[in-house]
Amino acid sequence: MAKYDALETYLRSLAGDTVRLTFDEINKILPTRLPRSAYEHPPFWSNTEVGSSHVWADAWQGAGWRTVGHNLEQQYVEFRRFAAGPSGELQDHAQPLIEEDAVASGPIARDATRNEDRRNTSEDRQLASIWTRRGQQKFRGRLLRAYGSVCAVSGSTVEPLLEAAHIVPHALETNYAVTNGLLLRADIHTLFDLHLIAVDADGRVSVTRSLEWTEYAQFRGRRLVALPVDQAERPSPEQLKRHHNLFIAREEALDDEAPKTSRDELSCRPD
């Protein structure tokens, strides 16, 4: 069982829709203690898309919960139960999907209201998708101009392979400012989104240890090779730090697994 599976199991067992857990309480639930980043980096407690590289967020979201607040000084985190709607989106249990006052009496009227609600929701999603697509195209255009069509990490100038990467993901924050972006080659963009590659606030590249024996290890410790000439368009140090903190949290999660692996390997060695 992975470390954070214990937290998922615990949250699934709760009867209520809200809960506040102290870090000490979570440490008692987990087989080993929370990593240092949970105490020092607020992004550790961010919600992410299920199936991301953040296995700790997958644990509570997989159980149907999301974080709604935390306090590093007082060392606690607040969770609220959510449920997947008909299209897979998360919906707050605390808010009814249909207000009773708006529904006429009788099952036919209620069904009509539900159908209208689904139709409006579908139209809203389509409009949101259109605006997101248009925003992304303009975002890439601005980054291509700002970075001179050069990948900030690799220096690649093959423009069809260059993509606009959000530093703070669009799913967490709608921000198409050039300062919240990096122009990256497609493969590096993927690794950046997975927090396998990151850039610290000083513009130095970090690469996960899991890519140690790959061609990407060459970028570790390098400064960005391309930056906008206009200082006002350069990536925000605060946004880079926020992304880099999640990279650190993921690396520390790997550290949690390392001792167990080492013990298992040692137990299998012949005398």
Nearest-angstrom CA–CA distance, 26 and 29: 5
> Where do runs of H (alpha helix) occur along 174-236?
186-193
pLDDT at residue 190 greater than cutoff 50: yes
Nearest-angstrom CA–CA distance, 258 and 50: 24
Position 2: which residue type? Answer: A
Nearest-angstrom CA–CA distance, 37 and 44: 7
Q: Which two tokens stand for residue 237?
A: 């140090």
Contacts of 11 (CB under 8 A, 6+ apart): 19, 59, 60, 63, 64, 65, 79
* Mean pLDDT, rounded, for 222-231: 96
* Mean pLDDT, rounded, for 116-120: 52
pLDDT at residue 122 greater than cutoff 50: yes
Nearest-angstrom CA–CA distance, 217 and 1: 30
Residue among 193, 170, 238, 175 at smallest CA distance from 53? 193
Nearest-angstrom CA–CA distance, 109 and 122: 20
Q: Which residues pair with 71 in a beta bridge?
A: 76
Give the 3-state secondary structure of 64-91: CEEEEEEECCCCEEEEEEEEECCCCCEE
Beta strands 162-166 and 181-185, pairing class: antiparallel
pLDDT at 126: 52
Tell me which of 97 and 176 has the higher pLDDT. Answer: 176
* Residue extents of the structural domains in the chain: 5-95, 107-255
Q: Which residues pair with 79 in a beta bridge?
A: 19, 67
Estimate to the nearest angstrom the gap between the alpha carbon of 143 and the chain centroid. 22
Nearest-angstrom CA–CA distance, 153 and 225: 6
Band (pLDDT 50/70/90 cuts) for residue 112 is: low
Question: In which residue are the tokens 């730090």 written?
Answer: 241
pLDDT at residue 263 greater than cutoff 50: no
Indicate the pTM of the whole model.
0.59
Asked whether 233 and 179 are in contact (CB, 8 A), the reply is: yes
18: three-class secondary structure by DSSP: strand
